[in-house]
Structure 1
Amino acid sequence: MSRELARRIAFTIGALLLFRLGTQIPIPGLDASRLASLPGFNDRLSLFSPGLIPYLTAAIFLRLLSVVWRGLSSLERSGDAGRRKLVRVTLGLTLALAAFQAYGIASTLISFPELVRNPDGWFVMTATASMVGGVFLLVWLSEQITRYGIGNGLALILSVGMLVSLPRDVAGIADVVRSGALSGNLVFIHAVFWVVTVAVIVLVEGARRNIRVEFGARDVGARQLPGRDAVLPIKLNSAGFLIPVTVAPWTFFLPLAFAGFVLGGDHPLVVAAYRHLQLGQPAHMILVSIAVFLLAFVYTAYVVDPEHTAKSLAQHDGTIPGVAPGEATAGYLDRVVSLTTVVGAVYLTALQLIPQVFDLYGIGLPYSMIVNGGAALVVVCTALDIKTQVRDVSLTNPGGVRR
Structure 2
Amino acid sequence: MSGELARRIAFTIGALLLFRLGTQIPIAGLNISSLPPTSHVIGRLSLFALGLIPYLTAAILIRLLSVVWRGLNSLERSGEGGRRKVARATLGLTLGLAAFQAYGIASALTTIPGIVRDPDGWFVLTATATMVGGVCVLVWLSEQITRHGIGNGLALILSVGMLVSIPRDVAGILELMRTGAVSSNLVLACAVFWVVTVAVIVLVEGARRNIQVEFGALYVGARQLPVRAGVLPIKLNSAGFLIPVTVAAWIFFLPLAFAGLILGGDHPLVAAAYRHLQLGQPAHVVLVSIAVLILAFVYTAHVVDPEHAAESLARHGGVIPGVAPGEATADHLDRVVSLTTVVGAVYLTALQLIPEVFELYGIGLPYNMIINGGAALVVVCTALDIKTQVRDVSLTNPGGVRR
Q: Report the Cα distance in structure 2 between the residues aligned to 1:20 and 1:144, rounded to whole angstroms.
A: 16
**Cα distance, 1:303 vs. partner?**
0.6
The answer as to 2:315 corresponding to 1:315 is yes
- Maintained 8 Å contact 1:15/1:141: yes
Matches within 5 A, 1:105-184: 105-184=105-184
**Cα distance, 1:315 vs. partner?**
0.6
Partner deviation per Cα, 1:42-93 (whole Å, 9 max, x = no partner): 1111010000000010001001110111100010011111111111100000
The alignment yields a C-alpha RMSD, in angstroms, of 1.2
The answer as to 2:7 corresponding to 1:7 is yes
The answer as to 2:21 corresponding to 1:21 is yes
Matches within 5 A, 1:3-402: 3-37=3-37, 40-368=40-368, 371-402=371-402
Q: Report the Cα distance in structure 1 between the residues aligned to 2:10 and 2:387, rounded to whole angstroms.
A: 16
User: What SS class does the counterpart of residue 248 from structure 1 fall into?
Assistant: helix
Matched residue type, 2:345: A
Q: Report the Cα distance in structure 1 between the residues aligned to 2:47 and 2:146, rounded to whole angstroms.
A: 22
What is the TM-score normalised by the length of structure 1?
0.98
**Cα distance, 1:13 vs. partner?**
0.3
Matched residue type, 2:29: G
Partner deviation per Cα, 1:194-244 (whole Å, 9 max, x = no partner): 000000000000000000000000223333222100000000000000100
Q: Report the Cα distance in structure 2 between the residues aligned to 1:35 and 1:257, rounded to whole angstroms.
A: 31
| Structure 2 CA distance for partners of 1:86 and 1:370, relative to 1, 3 Å | farther
Partner deviation per Cα, 1:114-158 (whole Å, 9 max, x = no partner): 110000000000000000000000000000000000000000000
**Cα distance, 1:38 vs. partner?**
5.8
- Maintained 8 Å contact 1:355/1:369: no
Q: Report the Cα distance in structure 2 between the residues aligned to 1:382 and 1:213, rounded to whole angstroms.
A: 30
Partner deviation per Cα, 1:269-293 (whole Å, 9 max, x = no partner): 2221111111221111111111111
| Structure 2 CA distance for partners of 1:255 and 1:352, relative to 1, 3 Å | same
Q: Report the Cα distance in structure 2 between the residues aligned to 1:205 and 1:38, rounded to whole angstroms.
A: 36
- Maintained 8 Å contact 1:314/1:325: yes
**Cα distance, 1:113 vs. partner?**
1.1
Give percent identity, aligned residues only: 82
Matched residue type, 1:23: T
Matched residue type, 2:349: T
- Maintained 8 Å contact 1:99/1:132: yes
Matched residue type, 1:74: S
Matched residue type, 1:21: L
User: What SS class does the counterpart of residue 363 from structure 2 fall into?
Assistant: coil
**Cα distance, 1:257 vs. partner?**
3.1
Partner deviation per Cα, 1:350-397 (whole Å, 9 max, x = no partner): 001101111111111021466410000000000000000000000000
User: What SS class does the counterpart of residue 41 from structure 2 fall into?
Assistant: coil
- Maintained 8 Å contact 1:358/1:368: no
Q: Report the Cα distance in structure 1 between the residues aligned to 2:100 and 2:258, rounded to whole angstroms.
A: 21
Q: Report the Cα distance in structure 1 between the residues aligned to 2:346 and 2:49, rounded to whole angstroms.
A: 33
Matched residue type, 1:285: V
Q: Report the Cα distance in structure 2 between the residues aligned to 1:83 and 1:178, rounded to whole angstroms.
A: 54
- Maintained 8 Å contact 1:99/1:128: yes
Q: Report the Cα distance in structure 2 between the residues aligned to 1:50 and 1:314, rounded to whole angstroms.
A: 46
User: What SS class does the counterpart of residue 210 from structure 2 fall into?
Assistant: strand
- Maintained 8 Å contact 1:50/1:98: yes
Q: Report the Cα distance in structure 1 between the residues aligned to 2:83 and 2:10, rounded to whole angstroms.
A: 29
Q: Report the Cα distance in structure 2 between the residues aligned to 1:74 and 1:30, rounded to whole angstroms.
A: 47
Matched residue type, 2:141: L
